[in-house]
């Protein structure tokens, strides 16, 4: 049960096995603008916590339907941001004091001073809401910080950036296509966290990572006792995403029976938990990703065509790294900066190492590049990342054949790297320097040292 209030200043869950005490406290707090949810035991309290966004909990310690301390430890484990206020009789003061040392917000002896309780509760709700805002801002900043990893100077990436900006506030479904490691999840997060809905839930699930026999319960949720092992009620991803965004990563891995059920959810905007016949209204924006050609999957009858049309209202196709090699120096520079800060090192990239990185095929795309740079920074002992710091998977496919069965000298490789950069940049030295990931000053120094002509 809950008492609604149009001037809601916070969602408060009251847990007490005394009906009169529950009724009085609910009425007093509701009059002050709190939206009240009440429960007479631990099981119903946990159900309400999973179903609603609770800002604070007021609970008795000794109850016939469950111990308040047990509930407190459950909240600490599963909802650590929700402050808990205890109501206790004189004989339970020691327990309440002990709970304070473990992180409880406050405790009152029954009957409480209601004026003081309202003031303490307002502070608890404010603290919870501030924590939510901070968490949301951190997520937004993290996405913005990583945006340069999915957006470069390449023309294809510029168009993708423009597309993200133009459709971010739309409610239309988006399908993100691309090989593994191209940054599909980052695009999905950018669509959500740069939109007007950035403070609403962003719920993601990898359809390929969850076992097929568990995926349905993850998506739809279930009621207690719905199947063996369902010891409590579980909210599914559809419900969790209501009001926000649901990101189904690798949707092409959904089996046909689940595709049918997903289509029904998208059409009716309702969901039924497993073990229940109650329909729950939901509203979310759907973003999907796939590393397979879903059109081919449709032709081979492994994916429903009607579902494909539903999820493919807006399509974003991410190019593999090998098709945007002009962004590689920028990516390398940013990853180097990230891991040098983390490892407290100062390392630059030699031109010969950069040349090998540029020539590599990158089957794992940007994710593989990031991992390679992280490994190289961690293992590098000097101030320059050289060929010796690159793994065999890169060196073994280097397409420059050695002369006289021996590897070319570092000088020869550097000369070739500089020449390639000048050629690709049509003689623009500043652009060539950026491509190589070095400063313009360092580039001119390299020209003098290697006696490379600056024209082609």
pLDDT band at 205, cuts 50/70/90?
A: very high
Cα–Cα distance for residue pair 9/83, rounded to 1 Å: 15
pLDDT at 416: 63
Q: At what angle do helices 184-193 and 114-150 cross, to 10 degrees?
A: 130
Query: DSSP assignment, residue 144?
Result: H
Is there a common fold for 151-319 and 323-450?
no
Q: H/E element holding 442? A: helix 440-450
What's the token pair of residue 250?
Answer: 């690798």
Q: Tell me the sheet residues that pair with 202.
A: 245
Decide: 118 and 110 in contact? Cβ < 8 Å. Answer: no
Kindly tell me if the per-residue pLDDT of 344 is higher than 70. yes
Strands 348-349, 384-385: pairing is: parallel
pLDDT at 415: 66
Give the chain's mean pLDDT: 82
pLDDT at 372: 93
Cα–Cα distance for residue pair 173/167, rounded to 1 Å: 10
Q: For 425-444, what is each residue's pLDDT tens digit?
A: 777 877 776 666 566 666 77
Q: For 412-430, what is each residue's pLDDT tens digit?
A: 556 666 776 677 677 787 7
Greater confidence, 9 or 83?
A: 83
Closest CA to 384 of 414, 358, 362: 414
Q: At what angle do helices 440-450 and 410-424 cross, to 10 degrees?
A: 120
Q: Which residues contact 318 (CB under 8 A, 6 or more apart)?
A: 150, 160, 176, 177, 178, 179, 182, 183, 184, 187
Phi, psi of 344 (to 5 degrees): 55, 50
Class of domain 2-132: alpha beta
For the chain, give every domain's residue range. Answer: 2-132, 151-319, 323-450
Cα atoms found within 13 Å of the Cα of residue 80, Cβ hemisphere only: 3
| Domain 151-319 = CATH 2.40.160.150 | no
pTM of the full predicted structure? Answer: 0.57
Q: H/E element holding 164? A: helix 155-167
What average pLDDT score do residues 4-11 get? 65
Alpha-carbon separation of residue 62 from 17, 100, 424, 447 (angstroms) = 9, 16, 76, 80
pLDDT at 15: 92
Cα–Cα distance for residue pair 199/336, rounded to 1 Å: 31
Decide: 182 and 366 in contact? Cβ < 8 Å. Answer: yes
Q: For 34-90, what is each residue's pLDDT tens digit?
A: 999 999 888 889 989 888 889 999 998 888 766 788 888 888 888 888 999 988 876
Class of domain 323-450: mainly alpha
């Amino acid at each position: 049960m809950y008492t609604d209030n149009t001037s809601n200043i916070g969602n408060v869950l009251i847990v007490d096995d005394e009906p009169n005490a529950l009724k009085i406290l609910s009425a007093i707090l509701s009059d002050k603008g709190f939206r009240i949810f009440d429960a007479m035991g631990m099981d119903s309290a946990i159900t309400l916590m999973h179903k609603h966004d609770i800002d604070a909990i007021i609970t008795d310690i000794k109850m016939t339907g469950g111990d308040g301390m047990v509930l407190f430890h459950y909240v600490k484990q599963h909802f650590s941001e929700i402050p808990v206020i205890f109501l206790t009789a004189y004989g339970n003061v020691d327990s309440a004091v002990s709970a304070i040392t473990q992180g409880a917000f406050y405790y009152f002896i029954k009957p409480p001073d209601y004026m003081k309780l309202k003031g303490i509760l307002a502070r608890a709700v404010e603290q919870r809401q501030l924590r939510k805002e901070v968490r949301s801002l951190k997520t937004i900043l993290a996405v913005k910080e990583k945006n340069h990893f999915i957006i470069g100077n390449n023309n294809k990436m510029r168009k993708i950036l423009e597309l993200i900006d133009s459709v971010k506030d739309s409610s239309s479904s988006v399908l993100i296509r691309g090989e593994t490691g191209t940054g599909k999840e980052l695009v999905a997060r950018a669509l959500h966290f740069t939109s007007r809905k950035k403070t609403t839930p962003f719920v993601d699930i990898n359809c390929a990572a969850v076992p097929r026999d568990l995926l349905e319960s993850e998506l739809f949720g279930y009621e207690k006792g719905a199947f063996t092992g369902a010891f409590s009620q579980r909210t599914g991803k559809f419900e969790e995403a209501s009001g926000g965004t649901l990101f189904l990563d690798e949707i092409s891995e959904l089996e046909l029976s689940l595709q049918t059920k997903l289509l029904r959810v998208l059409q009716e905007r309702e969901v039924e938990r497993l073990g229940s016949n109650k329909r729950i209204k939901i509203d979310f924006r759907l973003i999907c990703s796939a590393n397979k050609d879903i059109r081919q999957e449709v032709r081979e009858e492994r994916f429903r065509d009607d579902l494909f049309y539903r999820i493919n209202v807006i399509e974003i196709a991410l190019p593999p790294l090998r098709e945007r090699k002009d962004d590689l120096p920028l990516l390398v520079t940013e990853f180097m900066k990230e891991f040098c800060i983390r490892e407290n090192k100062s390392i630059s990239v030699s031109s010969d190492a950069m040349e090998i990185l540029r020539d590599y095929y990158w089957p794992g795309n940007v994710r593989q590049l990031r991992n390679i740079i992280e490994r190289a920074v961690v293992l590098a002992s000097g101030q320059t990342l050289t060929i010796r710091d690159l793994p065999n998977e890169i060196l073994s496919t280097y397409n420059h054949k050695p002369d006289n069965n021996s590897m070319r000298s570092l000088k020869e490789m550097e000369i070739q790297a500089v020449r390639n950069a000048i050629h690709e940049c049509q003689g623009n030295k500043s652009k060539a320097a950026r491509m190589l990931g070095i400063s313009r000053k360092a580039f001119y120094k390299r020209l003098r040292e290697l006696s490379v002509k600056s024209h082609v």
